[in-house]
């Protein structure tokens, strides 16, 4: 499919006005009626997960020298070999590496070790490598079963070039595996210096999707300078080697300064389909410095309308997500939609960063 084949299929019924330089905001629209399983008159019922678990399901291991000693971040949940799997980024004070955990119930997780480790001999991944996604089924109401490409699993990662917390302009690459344990990394496929101004500061979390014969790689990126801004765009490919940035990037832009919850960051996209509708979950960061989970909906994988309200808001003072509720990953299990995210509480640099979950039915 050609990029030009993706065209909005109908005029959307919007409430509210277009964001400055960004996607339209919707407070409710003539889409998604009936919601998910069970039905509802709420136009975004299929996407709501209001019931927070209230505790971390995974946090830093606190083991001296471990790759995830200090914190865990960036969940990606999928189903494989009869169990749920959780990819996560571990932070040891030097850089990022990617770990995996397994669970039967999506709440109790057992660490399964490093999945992608940094390589001291590789100038790209000598300090960091964070695997943000593996190609999986697109359907929102699914357990997220993996999809093989020519018999192998396909993952997308990003890596920062310098030691420290997100230091330098990160690049994006792919990796291949037969068993989810041993991975063969490609050279970077996207670099910040090849992009537009909105992404020259560095590339962040890549999320890979396949639609027909086209691969879609969603990612967020930042501007240069400090403070920077983050927005979300995508690149496409037919062969996983030649990638073309979408000319309409960024597809999720910062909202109105001082007003919108994503006026500073519109980041960490994950994308699903449900009943013919495309959903893009992301987090926004606003003037108050807090991070919240947001949602945008579309008729195709390129054009999205933002939902005005936060999908998951920060918690009360003293709660595990009092500062940040961000970085989504969703799966469906046992009659409920589970929305995993990174929660942050406490005071930097001694804050607590870990992974928690909310779902569509009470606990």
Contact assessment for residue 16 and residue 256, using Cβ atoms and an 8 Å cutoff: no
Say whether pLDDT at 60 is over 60.
Answer: yes
Residue 19: per-residue pLDDT? 34
Condensed to tens digits (0 to 9), the pLDDT of residues 336-347 reads 999 999 999 999
Nearest to 132, CA basis, from 189, 214, 204: 204
Question: Per-residue pLDDT averaged across 112-141, rounded?
Answer: 96
Cα–Cα dist 39/360, whole Å: 13
Q: Hey, how many other C-beta atoms are within 10 angstroms of the C-beta on 237?
A: 16
Length of the chain: 363
Q: What is the DSSP letter of 188?
A: P
Q: Model-level pTM?
A: 0.92
Cα–Cα dist 305/283, whole Å: 15
Distances in Å between the alpha carbon of 87 and those of 102, 163, 237, 332? 9, 22, 24, 17
Condensed to tens digits (0 to 9), the pLDDT of residues 213-260 reads 999 999 999 999 999 999 999 999 999 999 999 999 999 999 999 899
Element (H, E) at 356: strand 352-359
Cα–Cα dist 277/218, whole Å: 17
Tokens 């997500």, residue?
321
Contact assessment for residue 308 and residue 27, using Cβ atoms and an 8 Å cutoff: yes
The structural domains of the chain, ordered by start, are 3-359 (2.115.10.20)
Find all residues with CB under 8 Å of 267, minimum gap 6, and list them: 204, 205, 220, 230, 231, 232, 282, 283, 284, 285, 326
Tokens 């501007």, residue?
223
Numbers of helices and strands, H then E, in the chain: 0, 22
Residue 13: per-residue pLDDT? 31
Give the pLDDT band of residue 135 (cuts 50, 70, 90). very high
Condensed to tens digits (0 to 9), the pLDDT of residues 280-314 reads 999 999 989 999 999 999 999 999 999 999 999 99
Could you give phi then psi for residue 193, rounded to 5 degrees? -70, -15
Distances in Å between the alpha carbon of 85 and those of 76, 81, 88, 108, 329? 8, 9, 10, 11, 12
Cα–Cα dist 298/8, whole Å: 8
Residue 311: per-residue pLDDT? 98
Give the pLDDT band of residue 2 (cuts 50, 70, 90). low
End-to-end CA distance of the chain: 42
Distances in Å between the alpha carbon of 307 and those of 196, 274, 311? 26, 16, 8
Average pLDDT, the chain: 91
Cα–Cα dist 334/313, whole Å: 25
Say whether pLDDT at 8 is over 70.
Answer: no
Nearest to 253, CA basis, from 278, 229, 236, 224: 229
């Amino acid at each position: 499919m050609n990029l030009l084949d993706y065209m909005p299929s109908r005029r959307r019924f919007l409430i509210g006005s277009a964001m400055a330089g960004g996607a339209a905001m919707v407070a409710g629209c003539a889409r998604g009626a009936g919601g998910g399983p069970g039905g509802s008159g709420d136009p975004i019922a299929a996407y709501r997960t209001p019931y927070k678990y209230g505790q971390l399901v995974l946090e830093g291991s606190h083991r001296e020298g471990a790759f995830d000693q200090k914190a865990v971040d960036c969940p990606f949940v999928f189903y494989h070999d009869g169990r749920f799997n959780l990819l996560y980024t571990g932070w040891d004070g030097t850089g990022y590496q990617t770990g995996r955990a397994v669970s039967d119930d999506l709440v109790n997780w057992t660490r399964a070790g490093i999945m992608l480790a940094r390589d001291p001999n590789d100038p790209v991944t000598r300090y960091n490598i964070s695997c943000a996604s593996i190609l999986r089924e697109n359907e929102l109401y699914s357990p997220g079963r993996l999809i093989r490409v020519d018999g192998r699993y396909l993952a997308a990662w990003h890596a920062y070039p310098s030691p420290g917390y997100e230091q330098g302009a990160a690049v994006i690459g792919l990796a291949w595996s037969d068993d989810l344990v041993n991975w063969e990394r490609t050279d970077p496929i996207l670099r910040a210096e090849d992009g537009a101004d909105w992404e020259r500061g560095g590339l962040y979390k890549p999320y890979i999707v396949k639609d027909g014969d086209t691969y879609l790689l969603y990612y967020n990126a930042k501007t240069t300078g400090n403070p920077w801004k983050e927005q979300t765009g995508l690149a496409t490919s037919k062969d996983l080697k030649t990638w073309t940035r979408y000319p309409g990037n960024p597809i999720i832009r910062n909202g109105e300064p001082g007003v919108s919850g994503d006026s500073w960051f519109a980041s960490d996209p994950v994308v699903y389909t449900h009943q013919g509708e495309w959903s893009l979950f992301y987090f926004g960061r606003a003037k108050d410095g807090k991070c919240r989970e947001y949602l945008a909906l579309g008729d195709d994988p390129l054009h999205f309308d933002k939902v005005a309200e936060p999908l998951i808001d920060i918690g009360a003072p003293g709660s595990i997500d009092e500062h940040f509720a961000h970085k989504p990953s969703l799966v469906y299990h046992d009659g409920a939609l589970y929305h995993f995210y990174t929660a942050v509480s406490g005071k930097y640099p001694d804050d607590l960063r870990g992974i928690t979950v909310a779902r569509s039915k009470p606990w």
